[in-house]
């Protein structure tokens, strides 16, 4: 061994002295493939580290049986100290010092207990021979108690434990794969099950008292609740409750809230699902879910089923170029069959909501299916006031705030808009560290909801005065015209994409709009461009009136083609909705000739030109008021409607100004 070590040391010294280059040169010379020396060293280091860890792991696995099957070193040392030789055992037996002997033929070891030995002292171990006849005879002669024991069972147990340590990880891995495959199969089996949320007692937390502003719809739906609670009142006189109730209205008007109120009032099992949850990419899945939904509903009848956004599954069949979606149509067919097929669904009332009733299939709307259609429209003044009272219950509002004034200022707002309005006002109140919501927060919240977030105020410049002339032009003409809504506020504070805003608030609900009102709106909308042209000249007009021109063009065209308010007479030449629905409207051509189309364009141009000329005349006649209001607006940045009308009254004689009915020809 010493010679071998000496030879290895000599060889290492020879290798170390055989290279005459520096370490850097060795790295450079070894880089024969164009690689960086440092990178190559790191690669070798990483490879060596991986090989080292692999070796450690392999060695650990190889030593594992030895750990459990071998005898520890401490145990071996302890055994050597507590052992006897075979001859010493025979001598002690002859002397009568041996009390008991246990012979282990498997291990060829004898455990010896001596006389006078303490009870907790371990026995002495003696290595036996292949043939132990002399020892056995001596033990018999001295009447020493001896017997045979076997350690084969313990060895077998240790071997089984070692084998299990290799097998158990494999079994666990197999069970993991089996569990995943089972879950996948269960998902496949449940793919056609209904995904409707089910509540045995619908605790929605919403009652009819929490729904305001839509009293007519509430009265219609209270009959559904009464039928579910007291059906005998209807069956006694032969009445049959509608099987389906379709809630129709624009977004945010409270259709889903009404369904929650019905469920909360009725106290019956309640299923809720969206129309989009029926349709999948696999044909037949939607129909299977419909069947499963109605099966569960029949088991829990009487009950309610609420389908939100039913237009996702109830669109017209056969619509679209080249055919429709077979999966969606099969789902709709199954829904029609379940609602009114050969098998009845007594005790099941279906409530559906949509804001697109024009695209629903006719078979879905016939009597026997959705018998009753409830219109949930935007609330009127009284309805908005009731909605504001509901949403103001849990908010701290200053006593000076008038909910009636807020309701008057928010025409066209839905219930969701009003709820968002008060919530934005509460957020602004907390941000400004106030204890209660004031009218200032309400006004800012209305501006934010309608126009967007407030921007940075403009600095004094030509652009600021130009925007001031533009906004004052709108407000001044709207104040001078009798048929226009009164001005609520004029501001130069940017909001959203608008650099300035003019707000008009109607005095009363306007269900119908007259011809003079439409022309007054067109004239006031053109007042901004007219003010720019009068003050700065035609070369200096800006793009700020782009949105205004789109609005006036749309209003003028509707006057000609839909409302019959032109020289073409009382004709409706275009549909109310211009939305495209494949297979129905896309390929439709206009219902009038090219000659009529040219006359329509001419009438639209003449209406807009007439209103524009009237706007310029009014501004030129009231130039003093225009300049005074622009100076005030540039300084204050916001003018209230009352102050605006007061200044206009001081500088001009406000008369009942109408727009001339004669049409001024336009030359292009």
Catalytic residues, by residue number, are 471
429 CB burial (10 A radius; 0-12, 13-18, 19+): buried
Query: In angstroms, rounded to a whole number, what is the distance separating the alpha carbons of residues 532 and 521?
Result: 18
b/e code 222-255 from CB counts within 10 Å (16+ = b): ebbbebbeeeeeeeeeeeebbbbbbbbbeebbbb
Query: In angstroms, rounded to a whole number, what is the distance separating the alpha carbons of residues 564 and 27?
Result: 94
Contact 395, 431 (CB under 8 A): no
- The residues, any chain, with a CB within 8 Å of residue 399's CB and separated by 6 or more, are none
Triad 199, 202, 206: Cα angle to 5°: 145
Contact 444, 491 (CB under 8 A): no
Q: Which of 408, 69, 376 is nearest to 213 (CA)?
A: 376
Query: In angstroms, rounded to a whole number, what is the distance separating the alpha carbons of residues 415 and 403?
Result: 14
C-alpha distances out from residue 481 to 475, 615, 619, 663, Å = 10, 10, 12, 18
3-state SS class at 112: strand
- The residues, any chain, with a CB within 8 Å of residue 304's CB and separated by 6 or more, are 202, 228, 259, 262, 263, 266, 268, 269, 270, 271, 349, 350, 351
Rg (CA), the chain: 47
Contact 555, 521 (CB under 8 A): yes
Query: In angstroms, rounded to a whole number, what is the distance separating the alpha carbons of residues 479 and 487?
Result: 7
**Measured torsion, CA atoms of residues 563, 569, 570, 573, in degrees rounded to the nearest 10:** -70
Determine the distance from the C-alpha atom of residue 378 to the mean position of all C-alpha atoms in its chain, rounded to a whole number.
26
- The residues, any chain, with a CB within 8 Å of residue 533's CB and separated by 6 or more, are 541, 616
Query: In angstroms, rounded to a whole number, what is the distance separating the alpha carbons of residues 139 and 144?
Result: 5
Q: Which element (helix H / strand E) includes 643?
A: helix 641-651
CB atoms within 10 A of CB 631: 13
C-alpha distances out from residue 92 to 74, 81, 97, 119, Å = 27, 17, 5, 19
Cis amide bond preceding 302, omega within 30 = yes
Contact 202, 304 (CB under 8 A): yes
Range 215-222, long-range pairs (CB < 8 A, 24+ positions): 215/383, 216/375, 217/247, 217/254, 217/258, 217/374, 217/375, 217/376, 218/258, 218/261, 220/245, 220/372, 220/374, 221/245, 221/258, 221/261, 221/262, 221/374, 222/265
Q: Which two tokens stand for residue 215?
A: 């009293």
- Strands (DSSP E) contained in 128-256 are 145-149, 197-199, 244-248
Query: In angstroms, rounded to a whole number, what is the distance separating the alpha carbons of residues 520 and 556?
Result: 11
- The residues, any chain, with a CB within 8 Å of residue 582's CB and separated by 6 or more, are 319, 320, 321
């Amino acid at each position: 061994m010493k010679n071998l070590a000496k030879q290895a040391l000599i060889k290492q010294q020879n290798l170390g002295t055989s290279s005459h280059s520096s370490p850097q040169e060795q790295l450079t010379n070894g880089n024969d493939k164009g690689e960086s020396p440092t990178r190559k060293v790191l690669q070798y280091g990483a490879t060596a580290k991986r090989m080292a860890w692999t070796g450690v792991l392999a060695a650990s696995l190889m030593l594992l049986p030895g750990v459990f099957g071998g005898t520890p070193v401490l145990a071996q040392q302890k055994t050597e100290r507590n052992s006897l030789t075979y001859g010493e055992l025979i001598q002690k037996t002859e002397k009568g010092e041996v009390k008991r002997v246990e012979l282990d033929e498997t291990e060829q070891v004898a455990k010896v207990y001596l006389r006078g030995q303490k009870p907790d002292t371990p026995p002495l171990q003696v290595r036996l021979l292949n043939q132990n006849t002399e020892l056995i005879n001596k033990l018999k002669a001295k009447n020493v108690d001896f017997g045979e024991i076997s350690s084969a069972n313990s060895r077998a147990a240790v071997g089984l434990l070692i084998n299990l340590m290799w097998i158990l990880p494999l079994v666990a891995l197999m069970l993991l794969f089996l569990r995943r495959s089972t879950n996948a199969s269960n998902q496949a089996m449940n793919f056609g099950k209904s995904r409707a949320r089910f509540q045995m007692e619908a605790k929605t937390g919403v009652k009819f008292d929490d729904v305001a502003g839509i009293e007519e719809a509430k009265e219609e739906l209270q009959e559904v609740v009464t039928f579910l609670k007291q059906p005998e009142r209807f069956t006694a006189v032969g009445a049959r409750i509608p099987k389906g109730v379709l809630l129709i209205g624009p977004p945010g008007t409270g259709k889903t809230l009404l369904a929650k109120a019905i469920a909360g009032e009725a106290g019956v099992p309640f299923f809720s699902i969206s129309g989009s949850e029926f349709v999948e990419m696999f044909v037949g899945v939607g129909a299977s879910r419909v069947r499963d939904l109605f099966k569960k509903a029949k088991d829990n009848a009487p009950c309610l089923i609420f389908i939100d956004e039913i237009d996702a599954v109830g669109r017209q069949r056969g619509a679209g170029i080249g055919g429709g979606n077979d999966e969606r149509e099969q789902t709709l067919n199954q829904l029609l069959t379940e609602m009114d097929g050969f098998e009845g669904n007594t005790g099941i009332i279906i409530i559906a909501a949509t804001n697109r009733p024009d695209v629903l299939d006719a078979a879905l709307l016939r009597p026997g299916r959705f018998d009753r259609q409830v219109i949930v429209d935007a609330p009127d003044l009284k309805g908005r006031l009731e909605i504001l009272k509901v949403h103001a219950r849990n908010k701290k509002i200053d006593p000076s705030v008038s909910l009636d004034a807020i309701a008057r200022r928010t025409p066209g707002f839905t219930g969701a808009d009003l709820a968002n309005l008060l919530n934005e006002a509460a957020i602004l109140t907390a941000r400004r560290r106030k204890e209660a919501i004031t009218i200032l927060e309400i006004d800012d919240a209305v501006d934010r909801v309608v126009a967007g977030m407030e921007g940075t105020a403009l600095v004094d410049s030509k652009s600021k005065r130009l925007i001031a002339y533009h906004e004052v032009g709108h407000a001044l003409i709207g104040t001078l015209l009798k048929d226009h809504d009164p001005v609520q506020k004029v501001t130069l504070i940017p909001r959203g994409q608008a650099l300035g805003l003019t707000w008009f608030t109607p005095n009363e609900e306007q269900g119908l709009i007259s011809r003079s009102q439409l022309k007054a709106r067109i004239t006031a909308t053109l007042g901004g461009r007219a003010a720019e042209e009068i003050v700065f000249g035609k070369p200096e007009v800006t793009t700020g009136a782009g949105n205004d021109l789109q609005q006036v063009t749309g209003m003028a065209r509707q006057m000609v083609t839909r409302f019959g308010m032109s020289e073409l007479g009382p004709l409706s030449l275009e549909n109310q909705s211009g939305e495209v629905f494949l297979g129905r409207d896309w390929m439709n051509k206009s219902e009038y000739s090219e000659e009529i189309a040219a006359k329509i364009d001419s009438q639209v141009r003449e209406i807009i030109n007439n209103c524009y000329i009237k706007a310029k005349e009014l501004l030129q006649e009231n130039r003093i008021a225009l300049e005074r209001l622009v100076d005030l607006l540039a300084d204050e940045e916001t003018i209230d409607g009352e102050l605006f009308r007061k200044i206009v009254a001081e500088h001009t004689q406000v008369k009942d100004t109408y727009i001339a009915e004669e049409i001024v020809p336009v030359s292009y």
